[in-house]
A and B are shown apart, each in its own frame.
Chain A
Amino acid sequence: MVEPNLNDELLDAAIMDEGVAAELLAPGNGNPRPSSWRLYWRRLKKRPAALVGTIIFCVFLFLAVFGPWVAPYDYQTQNVKVRLDAPSVAHPFGADQFGRDIFSRIIVGTRNIFLIGGFGTLVAVVIGTAIGLASGYVGGTSDEVVMRLLDVLLSFPSLLLALVLLSTVGPSNFNLVLVVAILYIPMVARVVRSMVLDLKNKEFVEAARVRGEKRSYILFREILPNSLPPLLVEASMRFSYSIFLVASLGYLGLGVQPPSPDWGLQINDARNFLPIAPWLLLFPACTIAVLVVSTNLMSDGLRQVMLPGGGRN
Protein backbone atom coordinates (compact mmCIF):
# COMPACT_ATOMS: atom_id res chain seq x y z
CA MET A 1 0.00 0.00 0.00
CA VAL A 2 1.15 3.48 -0.79
CA GLU A 3 0.74 5.94 2.03
CA PRO A 4 -2.40 7.99 1.48
CA ASN A 5 -1.30 11.57 1.40
CA LEU A 6 -4.13 13.88 0.68
CA ASN A 7 -3.88 17.43 1.80
CA ASP A 8 -5.12 20.69 0.48
CA GLU A 9 -2.06 21.31 -1.58
CA LEU A 10 -2.58 18.09 -3.45
CA LEU A 11 -6.20 18.92 -3.97
CA ASP A 12 -5.09 22.23 -5.32
CA ALA A 13 -2.68 20.53 -7.69
CA ALA A 14 -5.51 18.32 -8.78
CA ILE A 15 -7.60 21.32 -9.66
CA MET A 16 -4.87 22.85 -11.72
CA ASP A 17 -4.02 19.60 -13.41
CA GLU A 18 -6.80 20.02 -15.88
CA GLY A 19 -5.35 17.56 -18.31
CA VAL A 20 -6.04 14.73 -15.91
CA ALA A 21 -9.43 16.03 -14.90
CA ALA A 22 -10.48 16.73 -18.48
CA GLU A 23 -9.48 13.30 -19.64
CA LEU A 24 -11.23 11.51 -16.82
CA LEU A 25 -14.28 13.71 -17.01
CA ALA A 26 -14.80 13.73 -20.74
CA PRO A 27 -17.63 16.22 -21.14
CA GLY A 28 -20.71 15.89 -23.24
CA ASN A 29 -22.40 13.09 -21.37
CA GLY A 30 -25.30 15.27 -20.34
CA ASN A 31 -23.17 16.68 -17.57
CA PRO A 32 -21.72 19.98 -18.68
CA ARG A 33 -18.65 21.24 -16.89
CA PRO A 34 -19.27 24.26 -14.70
CA SER A 35 -19.34 27.60 -16.48
CA SER A 36 -16.05 29.45 -16.53
CA TRP A 37 -17.11 32.12 -14.04
CA ARG A 38 -18.26 29.54 -11.53
CA LEU A 39 -15.01 27.67 -12.07
CA TYR A 40 -13.04 30.89 -11.42
CA TRP A 41 -14.93 31.47 -8.19
CA ARG A 42 -14.38 27.91 -7.07
CA ARG A 43 -10.64 28.23 -7.68
CA LEU A 44 -10.50 31.63 -5.99
CA LYS A 45 -12.06 30.16 -2.85
CA LYS A 46 -9.19 27.68 -2.67
CA ARG A 47 -6.60 30.47 -2.65
CA PRO A 48 -6.70 32.20 0.74
CA ALA A 49 -4.17 34.92 -0.18
CA ALA A 50 -6.10 35.94 -3.26
CA LEU A 51 -9.34 35.80 -1.35
CA VAL A 52 -7.99 38.02 1.45
CA GLY A 53 -6.61 40.44 -1.14
CA THR A 54 -9.98 40.60 -2.85
CA ILE A 55 -11.80 41.18 0.41
CA ILE A 56 -9.46 44.00 1.50
CA PHE A 57 -9.77 45.53 -1.95
CA CYS A 58 -13.53 45.43 -1.66
CA VAL A 59 -13.36 47.15 1.75
CA PHE A 60 -11.34 49.97 0.20
CA LEU A 61 -13.76 50.12 -2.69
CA PHE A 62 -16.58 50.50 -0.18
CA LEU A 63 -14.69 53.33 1.57
CA ALA A 64 -14.07 55.01 -1.76
CA VAL A 65 -17.78 55.12 -2.45
CA PHE A 66 -19.17 55.79 1.02
CA GLY A 67 -16.08 57.29 2.73
CA PRO A 68 -17.50 60.70 3.75
CA TRP A 69 -20.47 59.01 5.42
CA VAL A 70 -18.41 56.35 7.14
CA ALA A 71 -15.66 58.61 8.46
CA PRO A 72 -16.15 59.52 12.14
CA TYR A 73 -15.07 63.17 11.63
CA ASP A 74 -15.19 65.66 8.82
CA TYR A 75 -11.81 65.58 7.11
CA GLN A 76 -11.42 69.36 7.25
CA THR A 77 -12.55 70.07 10.82
CA GLN A 78 -9.63 71.36 12.86
CA ASN A 79 -9.61 70.68 16.57
CA VAL A 80 -6.75 72.59 18.14
CA LYS A 81 -7.05 70.62 21.39
CA VAL A 82 -5.94 67.35 19.79
CA ARG A 83 -3.07 68.69 17.63
CA LEU A 84 -0.45 65.99 17.05
CA ASP A 85 -2.19 63.69 19.51
CA ALA A 86 -1.12 60.07 19.57
CA PRO A 87 -3.60 57.39 18.52
CA SER A 88 -6.44 57.06 21.00
CA VAL A 89 -9.95 55.66 21.13
CA ALA A 90 -11.39 58.93 19.88
CA HIS A 91 -8.76 59.26 17.12
CA PRO A 92 -7.57 55.73 16.31
CA PHE A 93 -4.80 56.94 13.94
CA GLY A 94 -4.07 60.12 15.89
CA ALA A 95 -4.46 63.71 14.72
CA ASP A 96 -2.31 65.93 12.53
CA GLN A 97 -0.68 69.29 13.07
CA PHE A 98 -4.03 71.09 12.59
CA GLY A 99 -5.87 68.68 14.84
CA ARG A 100 -7.62 66.88 11.97
CA ASP A 101 -8.50 63.21 12.45
CA ILE A 102 -6.05 61.13 10.40
CA PHE A 103 -8.34 58.10 10.28
CA SER A 104 -11.08 60.16 8.67
CA ARG A 105 -8.65 61.82 6.25
CA ILE A 106 -7.40 58.44 5.12
CA ILE A 107 -10.92 57.14 4.63
CA VAL A 108 -12.03 60.17 2.69
CA GLY A 109 -8.79 60.16 0.69
CA THR A 110 -9.56 56.72 -0.63
CA ARG A 111 -12.02 58.11 -3.13
CA ASN A 112 -9.47 60.34 -4.82
CA ILE A 113 -6.99 57.53 -5.18
CA PHE A 114 -9.64 55.26 -6.64
CA LEU A 115 -11.01 57.94 -8.94
CA ILE A 116 -7.67 58.98 -10.35
CA GLY A 117 -6.16 55.51 -10.44
CA GLY A 118 -9.39 53.97 -11.65
CA PHE A 119 -10.16 56.47 -14.39
CA GLY A 120 -6.53 56.59 -15.42
CA THR A 121 -6.47 52.80 -15.73
CA LEU A 122 -9.82 52.79 -17.50
CA VAL A 123 -8.68 55.31 -20.10
CA ALA A 124 -5.42 53.37 -20.53
CA VAL A 125 -7.35 50.12 -20.99
CA VAL A 126 -9.74 51.58 -23.55
CA ILE A 127 -7.11 53.35 -25.63
CA GLY A 128 -4.49 50.62 -25.14
CA THR A 129 -6.97 47.95 -26.21
CA ALA A 130 -7.88 49.92 -29.32
CA ILE A 131 -4.23 50.37 -30.24
CA GLY A 132 -3.36 46.75 -29.46
CA LEU A 133 -6.28 45.38 -31.45
CA ALA A 134 -5.64 47.52 -34.51
CA SER A 135 -1.88 47.18 -34.47
CA GLY A 136 -1.90 43.43 -33.90
CA TYR A 137 -4.54 42.65 -36.48
CA VAL A 138 -3.17 44.85 -39.26
CA GLY A 139 0.38 43.76 -38.59
CA GLY A 140 3.25 44.52 -40.93
CA THR A 141 5.06 47.83 -41.04
CA SER A 142 2.38 49.88 -39.29
CA ASP A 143 2.39 47.43 -36.37
CA GLU A 144 6.14 47.72 -36.24
CA VAL A 145 6.00 51.56 -36.15
CA VAL A 146 3.28 51.68 -33.49
CA MET A 147 5.02 49.20 -31.24
CA ARG A 148 8.36 51.00 -31.47
CA LEU A 149 6.65 54.29 -30.57
CA LEU A 150 5.15 52.61 -27.52
CA ASP A 151 8.58 51.21 -26.68
CA VAL A 152 9.89 54.78 -26.63
CA LEU A 153 7.21 55.69 -24.10
CA LEU A 154 8.05 52.60 -22.05
CA SER A 155 11.75 53.37 -22.03
CA PHE A 156 11.28 56.45 -19.80
CA PRO A 157 11.17 55.78 -16.07
CA SER A 158 7.46 56.20 -15.33
CA LEU A 159 7.80 58.60 -12.40
CA LEU A 160 10.16 60.82 -14.37
CA LEU A 161 7.82 60.94 -17.32
CA ALA A 162 4.91 61.73 -15.02
CA LEU A 163 6.85 64.57 -13.41
CA VAL A 164 7.79 66.05 -16.77
CA LEU A 165 4.23 65.87 -18.06
CA LEU A 166 2.65 67.23 -14.89
CA SER A 167 5.09 70.07 -14.49
CA THR A 168 4.29 71.07 -18.08
CA VAL A 169 0.49 70.95 -17.87
CA GLY A 170 0.16 71.69 -14.17
CA PRO A 171 -1.29 69.46 -11.48
CA SER A 172 -5.04 68.86 -11.55
CA ASN A 173 -7.17 65.78 -11.12
CA PHE A 174 -7.94 65.70 -14.82
CA ASN A 175 -4.28 65.97 -15.76
CA LEU A 176 -3.40 63.24 -13.28
CA VAL A 177 -5.86 60.90 -14.94
CA LEU A 178 -4.32 61.74 -18.30
CA VAL A 179 -0.81 61.10 -17.06
CA VAL A 180 -1.74 57.74 -15.56
CA ALA A 181 -3.43 56.84 -18.83
CA ILE A 182 -0.48 57.88 -21.01
CA LEU A 183 1.93 55.89 -18.85
CA TYR A 184 -0.11 52.70 -18.96
CA ILE A 185 -1.36 52.72 -22.53
CA PRO A 186 1.80 51.02 -23.89
CA MET A 187 1.59 48.18 -21.38
CA VAL A 188 -2.08 47.47 -22.02
CA ALA A 189 -1.54 47.73 -25.76
CA ARG A 190 1.25 45.17 -25.63
CA VAL A 191 -0.86 42.66 -23.70
CA VAL A 192 -3.80 43.06 -26.08
CA ARG A 193 -1.57 42.91 -29.13
CA SER A 194 0.01 39.65 -27.99
CA MET A 195 -3.46 38.18 -27.52
CA VAL A 196 -4.48 39.34 -30.99
CA LEU A 197 -1.36 37.84 -32.54
CA ASP A 198 -2.21 34.56 -30.85
CA LEU A 199 -5.89 34.62 -31.76
CA LYS A 200 -5.90 36.05 -35.25
CA ASN A 201 -4.61 32.86 -36.82
CA LYS A 202 -6.88 30.61 -34.79
CA GLU A 203 -9.24 28.56 -36.88
CA PHE A 204 -12.40 30.25 -35.64
CA VAL A 205 -11.09 33.60 -36.86
CA GLU A 206 -10.17 32.05 -40.19
CA ALA A 207 -13.66 30.59 -40.40
CA ALA A 208 -14.98 34.12 -39.95
CA ARG A 209 -12.75 35.37 -42.75
CA VAL A 210 -13.92 32.54 -44.96
CA ARG A 211 -17.53 33.63 -44.57
CA GLY A 212 -16.59 37.20 -45.42
CA GLU A 213 -16.99 38.90 -42.04
CA LYS A 214 -16.02 42.55 -41.78
CA ARG A 215 -12.83 43.46 -39.99
CA SER A 216 -14.71 45.20 -37.19
CA TYR A 217 -16.81 42.10 -36.57
CA ILE A 218 -13.73 39.89 -36.40
CA LEU A 219 -11.98 42.28 -34.01
CA PHE A 220 -14.84 43.03 -31.64
CA ARG A 221 -16.92 39.85 -31.78
CA GLU A 222 -14.35 37.13 -32.37
CA ILE A 223 -11.06 38.37 -30.93
CA LEU A 224 -11.87 40.89 -28.18
CA PRO A 225 -14.12 38.65 -26.02
CA ASN A 226 -11.36 36.06 -25.89
CA SER A 227 -8.80 38.64 -24.81
CA LEU A 228 -10.84 39.74 -21.80
CA PRO A 229 -9.37 37.49 -19.09
CA PRO A 230 -5.75 38.58 -19.62
CA LEU A 231 -6.94 42.13 -20.12
CA LEU A 232 -8.73 42.06 -16.78
CA VAL A 233 -5.64 40.73 -15.05
CA GLU A 234 -3.51 43.42 -16.67
CA ALA A 235 -6.00 46.13 -15.72
CA SER A 236 -6.00 45.11 -12.08
CA MET A 237 -2.21 45.14 -12.03
CA ARG A 238 -2.10 48.55 -13.68
CA PHE A 239 -4.55 49.80 -11.09
CA SER A 240 -2.36 48.71 -8.21
CA TYR A 241 0.62 50.45 -9.75
CA SER A 242 -1.43 53.56 -10.37
CA ILE A 243 -2.15 53.81 -6.63
CA PHE A 244 1.57 53.90 -6.10
CA LEU A 245 2.06 56.48 -8.78
CA VAL A 246 -0.69 58.80 -7.58
CA ALA A 247 0.59 58.58 -4.00
CA SER A 248 4.15 59.29 -5.13
CA LEU A 249 3.05 62.28 -7.15
CA GLY A 250 1.02 63.53 -4.21
CA TYR A 251 4.10 63.23 -2.02
CA LEU A 252 6.10 65.25 -4.53
CA GLY A 253 3.40 67.92 -4.53
CA LEU A 254 2.33 67.32 -8.11
CA GLY A 255 -0.67 65.21 -7.30
CA VAL A 256 -3.91 66.04 -5.61
CA GLN A 257 -3.73 69.56 -4.24
CA PRO A 258 -4.55 70.61 -0.67
CA PRO A 259 -6.88 70.74 1.13
CA SER A 260 -8.03 67.47 -0.49
CA PRO A 261 -7.03 64.62 1.80
CA ASP A 262 -4.46 62.78 -0.29
CA TRP A 263 -2.38 59.98 1.17
CA GLY A 264 0.86 61.01 -0.50
CA LEU A 265 0.30 64.60 0.52
CA GLN A 266 -0.27 63.52 4.11
CA ILE A 267 3.01 61.66 4.13
CA ASN A 268 4.80 64.71 2.82
CA ASP A 269 3.26 66.92 5.50
CA ALA A 270 4.10 64.35 8.16
CA ARG A 271 7.82 64.44 7.39
CA ASN A 272 8.34 67.54 9.50
CA PHE A 273 6.78 65.94 12.54
CA LEU A 274 8.41 62.54 12.24
CA PRO A 275 10.46 62.77 15.48
CA ILE A 276 7.54 63.89 17.64
CA ALA A 277 4.53 62.28 15.90
CA PRO A 278 5.56 59.28 13.78
CA TRP A 279 1.94 58.09 13.45
CA LEU A 280 1.30 60.98 11.09
CA LEU A 281 3.50 59.23 8.58
CA LEU A 282 3.01 55.64 9.60
CA PHE A 283 -0.71 55.30 9.02
CA PRO A 284 -1.03 56.79 5.53
CA ALA A 285 2.09 54.89 4.44
CA CYS A 286 0.70 51.63 5.79
CA THR A 287 -2.63 52.25 4.12
CA ILE A 288 -0.93 52.67 0.76
CA ALA A 289 1.05 49.49 1.35
CA VAL A 290 -2.04 47.52 2.37
CA LEU A 291 -4.04 48.66 -0.63
CA VAL A 292 -1.22 48.01 -3.09
CA VAL A 293 -0.44 44.60 -1.64
CA SER A 294 -4.08 43.55 -1.53
CA THR A 295 -4.65 44.73 -5.09
CA ASN A 296 -1.56 42.80 -6.14
CA LEU A 297 -2.76 39.68 -4.36
CA MET A 298 -6.09 40.06 -6.07
CA SER A 299 -4.59 40.47 -9.52
CA ASP A 300 -2.25 37.55 -8.87
CA GLY A 301 -5.25 35.50 -7.84
CA LEU A 302 -7.11 36.62 -10.94
CA ARG A 303 -4.19 35.52 -13.06
CA GLN A 304 -4.11 32.13 -11.41
CA VAL A 305 -7.82 31.48 -11.64
CA MET A 306 -8.34 32.91 -15.09
CA LEU A 307 -5.09 32.00 -16.81
CA PRO A 308 -3.83 28.80 -15.21
CA GLY A 309 -0.63 27.55 -16.76
CA GLY A 310 0.67 30.97 -17.71
CA GLY A 311 -2.10 32.08 -20.01
CA ARG A 312 -2.31 29.08 -22.31
CA ASN A 313 -5.85 28.32 -23.26
Chain B
Amino acid sequence: MTLNHDDWGKVARMMSKRSLWMVHFCTGCGAMEMPPVMTSRYDMERFGMHAMATPRQADVFLVTGYLAVKTLKRVVQVYEQMRDPKYVIGFGSCTINGGMYWDSYNTIKDLSKYIPVDVYIAGCMPRPEAIIDSFLKLMDMIDKGEAIGWKKYHKYYDQYKKNQRMAYAYRLDEVEDIKEDDAK
Protein backbone atom coordinates (compact mmCIF):
# COMPACT_ATOMS: atom_id res chain seq x y z
CA MET B 1 0.00 0.00 0.00
CA THR B 2 1.34 3.43 -0.92
CA LEU B 3 0.22 6.67 0.60
CA ASN B 4 -0.14 9.78 -1.54
CA HIS B 5 0.19 13.39 -0.42
CA ASP B 6 -3.40 13.76 0.74
CA ASP B 7 -3.22 10.69 2.88
CA TRP B 8 -0.10 11.93 4.60
CA GLY B 9 -1.91 15.21 5.29
CA LYS B 10 -4.67 13.21 6.91
CA VAL B 11 -2.19 11.34 9.09
CA ALA B 12 -0.45 14.58 10.07
CA ARG B 13 -3.76 16.19 11.02
CA MET B 14 -4.77 13.16 13.04
CA MET B 15 -1.50 13.34 14.96
CA SER B 16 -1.43 17.09 15.46
CA LYS B 17 -4.97 17.36 16.76
CA ARG B 18 -3.99 15.30 19.80
CA SER B 19 -1.01 17.45 20.77
CA LEU B 20 -2.20 21.03 20.64
CA TRP B 21 -0.13 23.44 22.64
CA MET B 22 -1.64 26.70 23.71
CA VAL B 23 0.02 30.12 23.92
CA HIS B 24 -0.14 31.33 27.46
CA PHE B 25 -1.35 34.83 26.67
CA CYS B 26 -4.31 35.99 28.69
CA THR B 27 -6.27 39.19 28.26
CA GLY B 28 -9.46 40.28 29.95
CA CYS B 29 -11.55 38.26 32.36
CA GLY B 30 -11.25 34.99 30.44
CA ALA B 31 -7.93 34.37 32.13
CA MET B 32 -9.94 33.53 35.26
CA GLU B 33 -11.59 30.56 33.57
CA MET B 34 -8.31 29.05 32.44
CA PRO B 35 -6.89 27.79 35.79
CA PRO B 36 -9.76 25.31 36.39
CA VAL B 37 -9.51 24.16 32.76
CA MET B 38 -5.78 23.63 32.99
CA THR B 39 -5.63 22.06 36.44
CA SER B 40 -6.96 18.80 37.81
CA ARG B 41 -10.67 19.72 37.99
CA TYR B 42 -11.25 19.80 34.21
CA ASP B 43 -7.74 18.82 33.16
CA MET B 44 -7.25 19.74 29.52
CA GLU B 45 -4.10 17.66 29.40
CA ARG B 46 -6.43 14.70 28.87
CA PHE B 47 -6.70 15.96 25.29
CA GLY B 48 -2.98 16.49 24.89
CA MET B 49 -3.21 20.23 25.43
CA HIS B 50 -1.07 22.28 27.70
CA ALA B 51 0.15 25.82 28.01
CA MET B 52 3.36 26.87 26.31
CA ALA B 53 5.27 29.97 27.23
CA THR B 54 6.53 30.91 23.78
CA PRO B 55 4.39 31.53 20.69
CA ARG B 56 6.88 29.85 18.37
CA GLN B 57 6.22 26.45 19.91
CA ALA B 58 2.45 26.81 20.20
CA ASP B 59 -0.43 25.78 17.94
CA VAL B 60 -3.50 27.31 19.55
CA PHE B 61 -4.05 30.92 20.50
CA LEU B 62 -6.83 31.63 22.97
CA VAL B 63 -7.87 35.27 22.93
CA THR B 64 -9.51 35.36 26.33
CA GLY B 65 -11.69 38.44 26.35
CA TYR B 66 -11.78 42.08 25.36
CA LEU B 67 -8.88 43.61 23.49
CA ALA B 68 -7.83 47.21 23.77
CA VAL B 69 -6.21 48.55 20.63
CA LYS B 70 -2.90 48.50 22.45
CA THR B 71 -3.38 44.82 23.27
CA LEU B 72 -4.43 44.08 19.69
CA LYS B 73 -0.97 45.15 18.53
CA ARG B 74 0.60 42.58 20.87
CA VAL B 75 -1.92 39.91 19.88
CA VAL B 76 -1.14 40.38 16.20
CA GLN B 77 2.56 40.22 16.93
CA VAL B 78 2.16 36.99 18.90
CA TYR B 79 -0.08 35.53 16.20
CA GLU B 80 2.44 36.31 13.49
CA GLN B 81 5.23 34.71 15.51
CA MET B 82 3.36 31.41 15.72
CA ARG B 83 4.24 28.81 13.12
CA ASP B 84 1.78 27.30 10.70
CA PRO B 85 -0.57 25.57 11.15
CA LYS B 86 -2.03 27.75 13.89
CA TYR B 87 -5.52 28.08 15.26
CA VAL B 88 -7.34 30.88 17.07
CA ILE B 89 -10.17 30.46 19.57
CA GLY B 90 -12.19 33.61 20.28
CA PHE B 91 -13.27 33.45 23.86
CA GLY B 92 -16.43 35.06 25.23
CA SER B 93 -18.78 37.63 23.78
CA CYS B 94 -16.15 40.41 23.82
CA THR B 95 -14.33 38.87 20.87
CA ILE B 96 -17.59 38.34 18.96
CA ASN B 97 -19.19 41.79 19.10
CA GLY B 98 -17.55 43.71 21.90
CA GLY B 99 -19.80 42.31 24.62
CA MET B 100 -20.24 44.75 27.46
CA TYR B 101 -17.59 46.95 25.85
CA TRP B 102 -19.70 47.51 22.74
CA ASP B 103 -19.47 51.32 23.13
CA SER B 104 -15.97 51.60 24.54
CA TYR B 105 -13.72 53.94 22.61
CA ASN B 106 -10.63 51.82 23.01
CA THR B 107 -11.61 48.18 22.54
CA ILE B 108 -12.06 46.39 19.24
CA LYS B 109 -15.48 44.85 18.61
CA ASP B 110 -15.00 41.94 16.23
CA LEU B 111 -11.80 39.96 16.42
CA SER B 112 -12.28 38.23 13.06
CA LYS B 113 -11.73 41.57 11.29
CA TYR B 114 -8.13 41.61 12.49
CA ILE B 115 -7.03 37.98 12.70
CA PRO B 116 -8.86 34.89 11.44
CA VAL B 117 -10.78 33.04 14.15
CA ASP B 118 -11.49 29.31 13.86
CA VAL B 119 -13.81 28.75 16.79
CA TYR B 120 -15.82 31.21 18.85
CA ILE B 121 -17.15 30.44 22.31
CA ALA B 122 -20.21 32.48 23.29
CA GLY B 123 -20.88 33.55 26.86
CA CYS B 124 -19.69 36.04 29.40
CA MET B 125 -17.76 34.17 30.67
CA PRO B 126 -17.99 30.69 29.12
CA ARG B 127 -17.89 27.89 31.67
CA PRO B 128 -14.98 25.42 31.59
CA GLU B 129 -17.31 22.85 30.01
CA ALA B 130 -17.85 25.22 27.08
CA ILE B 131 -14.10 25.70 26.74
CA ILE B 132 -13.49 21.94 26.69
CA ASP B 133 -16.31 21.64 24.15
CA SER B 134 -14.63 24.23 21.92
CA PHE B 135 -11.35 22.32 22.13
CA LEU B 136 -13.10 19.15 21.00
CA LYS B 137 -14.81 21.08 18.22
CA LEU B 138 -11.45 22.48 17.10
CA MET B 139 -9.90 19.02 17.12
CA ASP B 140 -12.76 17.76 15.03
CA MET B 141 -12.30 20.62 12.59
CA ILE B 142 -8.57 19.96 12.34
CA ASP B 143 -9.25 16.31 11.66
CA LYS B 144 -11.60 17.19 8.82
CA GLY B 145 -9.29 19.91 7.51
CA GLU B 146 -11.78 22.72 8.18
CA ALA B 147 -9.65 24.80 10.52
CA ILE B 148 -8.01 26.89 7.81
CA GLY B 149 -7.81 30.30 9.50
CA TRP B 150 -4.04 30.42 9.05
CA LYS B 151 -4.43 29.87 5.29
CA LYS B 152 -6.92 32.73 5.16
CA TYR B 153 -4.41 34.99 6.90
CA HIS B 154 -1.89 34.30 4.13
CA LYS B 155 -4.45 34.73 1.39
CA TYR B 156 -6.14 37.92 2.64
CA TYR B 157 -3.11 39.34 4.39
CA ASP B 158 -3.59 42.80 2.83
CA GLN B 159 -7.16 43.09 4.08
CA TYR B 160 -6.24 42.00 7.60
CA LYS B 161 -3.29 44.39 7.70
CA LYS B 162 -5.41 47.27 6.46
CA ASN B 163 -8.03 46.67 9.15
CA GLN B 164 -5.34 46.42 11.81
CA ARG B 165 -3.82 49.73 10.72
CA MET B 166 -7.22 51.43 10.81
CA ALA B 167 -7.68 50.35 14.42
CA TYR B 168 -4.12 51.34 15.40
CA ALA B 169 -4.62 54.80 13.92
CA TYR B 170 -8.20 55.22 15.30
CA ARG B 171 -9.14 56.45 11.82
CA LEU B 172 -10.70 54.96 8.74
CA ASP B 173 -8.64 57.01 6.29
CA GLU B 174 -4.97 57.96 6.00
CA VAL B 175 -3.75 54.63 7.28
CA GLU B 176 -0.57 54.57 5.21
CA ASP B 177 1.50 56.65 7.61
CA ILE B 178 1.30 54.16 10.48
CA LYS B 179 4.61 52.47 11.10
CA GLU B 180 4.76 48.70 11.14
CA ASP B 181 6.94 48.60 14.22
CA ASP B 182 4.51 50.52 16.43
CA ALA B 183 3.94 47.58 18.70
CA LYS B 184 7.59 47.02 19.50
Q: Do A and B come from one complex?
A: no
Q: Which residues of A contact B (CB under 8 A)?
A: none
